[in-house]
């Protein structure tokens, strides 16, 4: 298991036909690489400079035995992650393309580590990564981002930065994750 201290990683699911699906983005404070004996279903890949701390599962188990309150905090974090995964699954299966883009941008906006000093939010992946994650084509992603920009819902600053200018169109922030 790894705890992210700095940077962003993406979790990839490799499909049987050779394609990949980006199933999640992980940010500072998130844990990646949950070990399941004999099973490897998801890979993680750094998409920005990444600083992590590795923790062998045996050490984690020993820590939980010595400090049960840490185990409860850990379970609370896992519960938060499960809730966010449920919201993400709902968004990816029930939302139309525009709603998916708005949900994705709201998730990025909820990550304080992506906020820059000028109030803009950094997009840590390219348009292909966004499309892979949301199950859309790159053309749809580009078209909808430009439409949101033209309609003054967001301001795009270059290819990797944005600011939400009109939250009335569904930019509710997902619940913040608990610190580790």
* All structural domains of the chain: 2-169 (2.60.120.10)
Give pLDDT, residue 177. Answer: 54
d(CA 90, CA 100): 10
Each residue's pLDDT, cut to its tens digit, for the chain (180 residues) gives: 888 999 999 988 888 888 888 888 999 988 888 766 666 667 889 999 999 998 888 888 898 899 989 888 888 888 888 888 888 888 888 899 999 999 999 999 988 889 998 889 999 999 999 999 999 999 999 999 999 999 999 999 999 999 999 888 766 555 555 555
Residue 115: beta bridge partners?
121
pTM for this entry: 0.79
Closest by CA to 45, choosing from 129, 160, 134, is: 129
Cα angle 120, 126, 129 (rounded to 5 degrees) comes to 120
| List of long-range contacts for 11-15, beta carbons under 8 Å, 24+ apart | 11/42, 11/43, 11/44, 12/42, 12/43, 12/44, 12/45, 13/41, 13/42, 14/43
Q: What is the pLDDT of residue 150?
A: 94
User: What is residue 39's predicted lDDT score, i.e. its pLDDT?
Assistant: 64
């Amino acid at each position: 298991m790894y705890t992210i201290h700095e940077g962003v990683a993406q979790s990839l699911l490799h499909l049987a036909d050779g394609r990949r699906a980006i199933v999640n983005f992980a940010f500072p404070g998130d844990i990646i690489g949950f070990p399941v004996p004999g099973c490897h279903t998801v890979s993680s890949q750094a998409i920005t400079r990444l600083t992590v701390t590795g923790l062998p599962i045996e050490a984690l188990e020993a820590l939980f035995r010595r400090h049960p309150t840490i185990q409860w905090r850990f379970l609370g974090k896992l519960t938060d992650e499960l809730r966010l995964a449920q919201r993400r699954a709902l968004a990816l299966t029930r939302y139309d393309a525009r709603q998916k883009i708005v949900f994705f941008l709201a998730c990025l906006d909820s990550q304080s580590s992506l906020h820059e000093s000028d109030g803009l939010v950094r997009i840590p992946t390219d348009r292909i990564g966004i499309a892979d994650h949301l199950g859309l084509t790159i053309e749809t992603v580009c078209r909808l981002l430009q439409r949101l920009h033209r309609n003054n819902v967001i301001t795009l600053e270059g290819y990797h930065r944005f600011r939400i200018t009109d939250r009335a169109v569904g930019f509710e922030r997902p619940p913040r994750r608990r610190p580790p």
